[in-house]
Amino acid sequence: MNRKGPVLIAVGAVVAIFLGCRKDEALPPGGVEGGTPVSPVVLDLGSVPYPTLSQYHFFEGLMADLEPATGVLPYTPITPAFGDYAEKYRFVWMPAGQKASYVADGQALEFPEGAVLIKTAFYPKVLPTMERRILDTRLMIRKGGTWVFAEYVWNEEQTEAYLDMQGSNVPLTWADENGLPHDVAFRIPSEGECIACHSRYDERVPIGPKPQNLNTVRQYPEGPMNQLAKWVAAGYLESGYPAAIETVAAWDDPQESLERRVRAYLDMNCSHCHNEGGFCGYRPMRFSWSESADPAALGVCIPPDDPFAQGVDYIVHAGNANRSMLYYRLSSTEEAVRMPLLERTLRHEEAIQLVADWINSMPEPCP
């Protein structure tokens, strides 16, 4: 078991710059009070979600630059979710004086009323101009003891994003790091799709901001810092969480074992459905990091519930990826077959190869 202790930070005389929304008419958004920068973010829980993204003032300067305003803190999961190769920026904002608290290594932090999780998807190079195109910004707003979803779709001019909860596809051609073009119909989720992924029993829950996913060093403008310690220093997390946290692997880290990399990938991309109370909780697989150390939870040598494709006889057929339902579903782009069903339409080639290598490396065959 790999347990990493968060970096200990001597707070000393650090200036508390992450303050919340103010409605003081004498103090304009983004002003300074007593030498302390004031967050320009505007969040009236009685009025959100707003019709446009710009009304929140999450970003300073040109909104398309995605430069976080004072009090808008970036974060990055150790293993992020795959979404058709789109890149994502993630941020968190909380009202002044409000903090999240630790629940468990593998559970989302407990967020206060008024907290906002912000995720923006984009492709760095889109044909024909080879310029960045931002597609959507998704908000989860803590309001009335639950999470409210707000989906904002960016216009082609990249000047504004508009509230749209109906869901849509955006066809485009993007270029990879080698300049090769790829077609995609990027899916902007409907409210129902958001609920499907972010629900456990009858409760709406975040997926990414769990201690196990945040317990790593990230680069900030002020320098490198452990993300959990940064949240504490920013006033966004109660101190006193465990000194040792069971931390996920980075799925693309070649220094990690194949098993740990696969488990991390399945945890982020699949476990929100494949858990007790999840959308696919009736299936035998349990892909959360805390459960998947058990091979049976991953489906190793476990027959699928229903007859599947010819020759596919186990969820994971040890030593034979081509006879494994897990590999088959991850490799498929057919809507009736692919896994995950939501958030992707393309094959994640690197992850598929990882899963194949892991399955084929298993020494003991299934009966």
Q: What is the pLDDT of residues 114-157, one digit of tens each?
A: 999 999 999 999 999 999 999 999 999 999 999 999 999 999 99
Task: Identify whether 203 is part of a domain.
Answer: yes
| Same domain as 233, residue 285 | no
Position 33 scores a pLDDT of 53
CA dist., res. 138 & res. 120, Å (int):
6
Position 126 scores a pLDDT of 97
Cβ atoms of residues 314 and 308 within 8 Å = no
Return all residues near 273 (Cβ < 8 A) that are at least 6 apart: 196, 197, 279, 280, 281, 340
Task: Identify whether 162 is part of a domain.
Answer: yes
| Same domain as 234, residue 97 | yes
Task: Identify whether 365 is part of a domain.
Answer: no
Final residue of a structural domain among 246, 277, 292: 246
Task: Identify whether 34 is part of a domain.
Answer: yes
Q: What is the number of domains present in the chain?
A: 2
Final residue of a structural domain among 200, 217, 246: 246
Side-chain-side CA neighbours of residue 339 (13 Å):
21
The model carries a pTM of 0.86
Q: Name the phi and psi angles at 262, rounded to 5.
A: -65, -45
* Residue position matching structure tokens 């929100």: 272
Task: Identify whether 324 is part of a domain.
Answer: yes
pLDDT digits over 93-113, tens only?
Answer: 999 999 999 999 999 999 999
Q: Name the phi and psi angles at 213, rounded to 5.
A: -95, -15
Range with lowest mean pLDDT among 126-130, 206-210, 276-280: 276-280
Task: Identify whether 2 is part of a domain.
Answer: no
| Same domain as 288, residue 228 | no
Final residue of a structural domain among 220, 246, 272: 246
How does residue 16 score in pLDDT terms, banded at 50, 70 and 90?
A: very low
Task: Identify whether 5 is part of a domain.
Answer: no
| Same domain as 158, residue 47 | yes
CA dist., res. 327 & res. 331, Å (int):
6
CA dist., res. 180 & res. 186, Å (int):
18
| Same domain as 95, residue 210 | yes
Q: Look up residue 193 and give its two tokens.
A: 């799709």
Q: Report CA-CA distances (Å) from 67 to 60, 62, 151, 193, 308.
A: 6, 8, 19, 28, 48
Task: Identify whether 252 is part of a domain.
Answer: no
Tell me the Cα Rg of the chain.
21
> What one-character DSSP code corresponds to residue 331?
H
| Same domain as 315, residue 276 | yes
Query: Long-range contact list for 147-150, CB < 8 A, 24+ apart?
Result: 147/198, 147/204, 147/205, 147/206, 148/48, 148/49, 149/191, 149/194, 149/195, 149/198, 149/204, 150/48, 150/49, 150/50
Nearest of 236, 23, 229 to residue 110 by alpha carbon: 236
* Residue position matching structure tokens 């300074």: 32
Range of the domain at 197: 11-246
CA dist., res. 225 & res. 148, Å (int):
30
Q: What is the mean pLDDT of residues 75-94?
A: 96
